[in-house]
Structure 1
Amino acid sequence: MKSSIHDKLMPGEELSQQLYEIRSHLHQNPELSFQEYQTCSYIMSWLEKWGIPHRRFGETGVVVDLIGEEGEGRHIGVRADIDALPIEEKTKLSFASKQPGVMHACGHDGHTTILLGTVYQLFQMKGKWKGRVRCIFQPGEEADGAAQQMIEEGVLDNPRVDGMLALHLWPHLPFGSVGVRNGAITASCDDFRIAIEGKGGHSARPQHAVDAIAISSQILQALSLLVTKGTNPVDPVVVHVGKIQGGTASNIVADRVIMEGTTRTVSRETRNKLRQQFISLVKGIVEAYGATVKITYNEGFPPVINDPMLTDCVKQCAAELLGESAVYVLPEPSMGADDFGAFAEQVPSTYFRLGIQQADQPVYDLHHPQFQFDQDIIPIGVQVCTHTVLTWLEKGEKETC
């Protein structure tokens, strides 16, 4: 069973070489969020070369609708993110970024290439399956609201998508393995800004001033207690202050302090509760010391909550292709975030990890200037995605895979 599936879905030599060429080009020509104009054009040029119908979605997105010729059926979406990061590359690869200060340091060049390979495979096999597949090349994952923006513009509609699938290359799993998890797999990511307005004065006469720096220190301590004492210890929460600005001289009481940071949770209920607790706590401290405050709390990415049925489908298909030992059930979610959570809020979805760690190579995390991966992971990703899509379409939502 395993070998026959593997042989059937393994990209041929010609396609594999094309995919390696695509990945190298994308890596050499990265573009930041919502600036992916050349990336968009390049994706469409390959679809045109292969004779695959497609459409531009928004300014820099691309959507491919594939229709099986075996008849009506389920409708699944597959998403790949296409944007890069503002990082100076230090990999010394022969195809390193040509764009100063911009790099594919999160594997999105791999994600895009894998989805293109999946599109090609499914298109070539369209006479053997029924239903629909919507392949979404999404811009702006590293920025705020890209997935949500596409949803609001109807990317899941006409006809409605019934489920969604996405992968992410993962340097913390062995090369060619797959990591799956039911429930939360990534966290929400919300940003906050606290502007404290006190009253300036001379350090020799603090009784005539309201010290914004002292108030900010009280907020820092209280936020730590909020995490350790105000939330369920088995329900992960992060509250991080990453930036504080205030004060002008050693002998002046600061009249203003700006604090900026992020909060992360893995459940929608905790996310909503934390926001209320956060705002109430900060306001209470500031008012108690006679200052005023303006709190800006921006909701970013929601957590990615995996659907059990789709997740089990990935697990089964990966095991059939790669072997049981190559499938890992992840014991805990990542507190990192991905805006694929916006899709998962709308339709049953699953997001899985594709391992790229090699025993004889140093491990560099996502967003590191030396992050890289072996291109041989691309055909493996294509196989897993293709097999999962075809299996899910065949079984339907009311049957287990």
Structure 2
Amino acid sequence: MIIKEQIKVSEEVTQKLIEIRRHLHQHPELSFQEYNTCGYIARVLEEWGIPYNRIGETGIFVDIIGGNRQGPHIGIRADIDALPIQEQTGLPFSSANQGVMHACGHDGHTTILLGTVYQLHRLRDKISGRVRCIFQPGEEADGAAQQLIDLGVLETPSIDGMLALHLWPHLPHGTIGIKYGAITASCDDFTIEIEGKSGHSARPHQAIDAITISSQIIQALHTLVTKSSNPVEPVVVHIGKINGGTASNIVADKVVLEGTTRAVTFETRKKLKSQLINLCESIAKSFGGKANVHYKDGHPPVINSEWVTKAVEECAAELFGSEKVVQLKEPSMGADDFGTFAQIVPSTYFRLGTALEGKQAFDLHHPQFEFDESIIPIGVQLFTSTVLTKLSRGVEEKC
């Protein structure tokens, strides 16, 4: 039987994890450029005498094989990349890399998973099965999770269930945000190239105005949210960039629109894509022009599986009290490529609150985003306890 004292993070380990977090924060690297980050993670593991495996150019994972080899194979994932943001926190360990910052808490995620590796390795005789701890590069870019999957990170042996967390400045410090079903949205990008016919503004009837076509398309795209989608299901269709025209007295022959769509179900995601393409092409054609839509499938929604989510929820309540567990009422329309794992393996993705009472909490991707480091051992204990006390029962029990 695992008791709280066995999984408690010692003061010595906590100080080491704070040291790790500050190093990672001070030396952030962009997606797929995490060479030093990967090397640092490897050095920490070597210092602890824990074997690891490299995967891809900047990925790394650790397999912790339990004393009882019969049991489920559980994956835990942390993202390790940073963002192209100039830090403005004023921390003594602020980013030393100009224009690059851990503004999404990935330094915290990586540190928490390293602490979890340390604890699980120490308690490996109590594990049934295997735990694969994955340090994933490139979460802020496209296709990173899929690359690791293609390289076999969910195989040999196959993974039965996965966990991931995200620091969350919208919840009080130390609370755990749980959501059954969709917790984040998909994120797909599109570019619409509108072709018209140039001419003089004094003779508009001899031209085809790409700007007029683009304005009609922008207005019409709103109907995909208001009239073509389930009104109780969140959907986003957003145009974030417009480029067209050369002079005030010339009819523009080309306009380029760039935008994004978000959905929380696979059905709506697929429907949005086809409707958007058809709508743009039809409107442009009705004005005598042409619309070429380039649609890029990005991250799928993160859909939490019931039994894995229940395991985290029960463990969080037992560890920290039920008052610390928050049922999130709605999904975030942000995205995370953990959804790519969750499409294949029953998974859960939960929030770990970082907002301190009386202190302004800056949002993710903000140049002043920061978190109190006392959150680190909380994340470590929750991961460790969930694996040992809930998921080690065996996947067949479905918790």
TM range (shorter): over 0.9
Identical-pair percentage: 65
Rounded to whole Å, the distance in 1 between the matches of 2:188 and 2:249 is 35
Say whether residues 1:266 and 2:264 are aligned partners.
Answer: yes
Rounded to whole Å, the distance in 1 between the matches of 2:262 and 2:72 is 34
Residue 116 of structure 1 aligns to a residue in which SS? helix
Rounded to whole Å, the distance in 2 between the matches of 1:136 and 1:119 is 10
| Counterpart for residue 229 of structure 1 | 227
| Counterpart for residue 16 of structure 2 | 18
Rounded to whole Å, the distance in 1 between the matches of 2:397 and 2:32 is 39
Structure 1 residue 42, shift from structure 2 partner: 0.2
From 97, 100, 103, give the equivalent of 2:101.
Answer: 103
Rounded to whole Å, the distance in 2 between the matches of 1:45 and 1:98 is 20
| Counterpart for residue 115 of structure 2 | 117
Letter of the 2:11 partner, please give it. Answer: E
Superposition pairs of residues 321-336 of structure 1, within 5 angstroms: 321-336=319-334
Rounded to whole Å, the distance in 1 between the matches of 2:209 and 2:112 is 55
| Counterpart for residue 313 of structure 1 | 311
Structure 1 residue 207, shift from structure 2 partner: 0.2
* Aligned length in residues: 399
From 374, 377, 397, give the equivalent of 1:376.
Answer: 374
Deviations 1:71-125 (A, max 9, x none): 3110000000000000000000111100110000000000000000000000000
TM-score for the superposition, normalised by structure 1: 0.98
Structure 1 residue 8, shift from structure 2 partner: 2.3
Superposition pairs of residues 37-56 of structure 1, within 5 angstroms: 37-56=35-54
* Structure 1 residue ranges, 4+ long, deviating more than 6 angstroms after superposition: none
Letter of the 1:319 partner, please give it. Answer: A
Deviations 1:200-246 (A, max 9, x none): 00111000000000000000110011210011111111000000000
Residue 71 of structure 1 aligns to a residue in which SS? strand
Deviations 1:223-271 (A, max 9, x none): 0112100111111110000000000111110000000000000000110
Rounded to whole Å, the distance in 2 between the matches of 1:86 and 1:368 is 11
Rounded to whole Å, the distance in 2 between the matches of 1:364 and 1:102 is 17
Residue 346 of structure 1 aligns to a residue in which SS? coil
Rounded to whole Å, the distance in 2 between the matches of 1:394 and 1:301 is 30
Rounded to whole Å, the distance in 2 between the matches of 1:297 and 1:304 is 20
| Counterpart for residue 179 of structure 2 | 181
Letter of the 2:95 partner, please give it. Answer: S
Deviations 1:332-390 (A, max 9, x none): 00000000000000010000000000012101000000000000100000000101111
CA contact (8 A) 1:131 1:393 kept: no
| Counterpart for residue 30 of structure 2 | 32
TM-score for the superposition, normalised by structure 2: 0.99
Superposition pairs of residues 1-400 of structure 1, within 5 angstroms: 5-400=3-398
Rounded to whole Å, the distance in 2 between the matches of 1:24 and 1:330 is 30
Deviations 1:271-326 (A, max 9, x none): 01111111111110011111112110000000000000100110000011111000
Residue 326 of structure 2 aligns to a residue in which SS? strand
CA contact (8 A) 1:5 1:320 kept: no
- Which blocks of at least 5 consecutive residues in structure 2 are unaligned? none
Rounded to whole Å, the distance in 2 between the matches of 1:316 and 1:84 is 32
Residue 72 of structure 1 aligns to a residue in which SS? strand
Rounded to whole Å, the distance in 1 between the matches of 2:258 and 2:5 is 52
Structure 1 residue 394, shift from structure 2 partner: 2.4
Structure 1 residue 400, shift from structure 2 partner: 4.8
